Amino acid sequence: MNKIIYIFVFIYFNIVTMESQNLETAVMGGGCFWCLEAIFQNLEGVEKVESGYSGGDVEFPTYEAVCTGATNHAEVVRITYNPEKISYEQLLNVFFATHDPTTLNRQGNDVGTQYRSVIYYQNEEQKNIANEIIDILTKNEVFTNPIVTEVAAAEIFYNAELNHKDYYNLNKNQPYCQYVIAPKVLKFKHQFKELLK
């Protein structure tokens, strides 16, 4: 009984806190979710970044299952942010600058539908902003090749296993972190100094 009361209080507190701060969420995928988490958790106004899976056909997918490509889920991050401190447009500017949105189902050596470039919008406003930014990037020929980022309505978000939480910060000596994530984070911090915590 005490456990049920604790869970209820925990959920209620989180809902009230989110409402009182007027927080919003954004969900996007652009390759390995370890990379995106490492980048977005450095932004001022971002309260929380969660790695997970979305867009597929399997309920409660595991990392191993998603890695096969058979679940149709993408590796994504769910970003909880304060729109008074950082806008959805700024989040997407960081998103497009820190991965290659022109490679279909691939980011570097990470290949498969789980690594697709995707934006799962929460409402029509987010949908419109995402499409506008893609149009601007295309018209200004920011990328040599066409943008293939999927813009789709948000689906169920499944949290990744706990060992993926804060992965980069807890595993900086791991080769993937050293050779793939670290250079991305360094480039991002140099490019978006004004948005950092």
Q: Which residues are part of the catalytic machinery? A: 32
Q: Distance of alpha carbon 67 from its chain centroid, rounded? A: 17
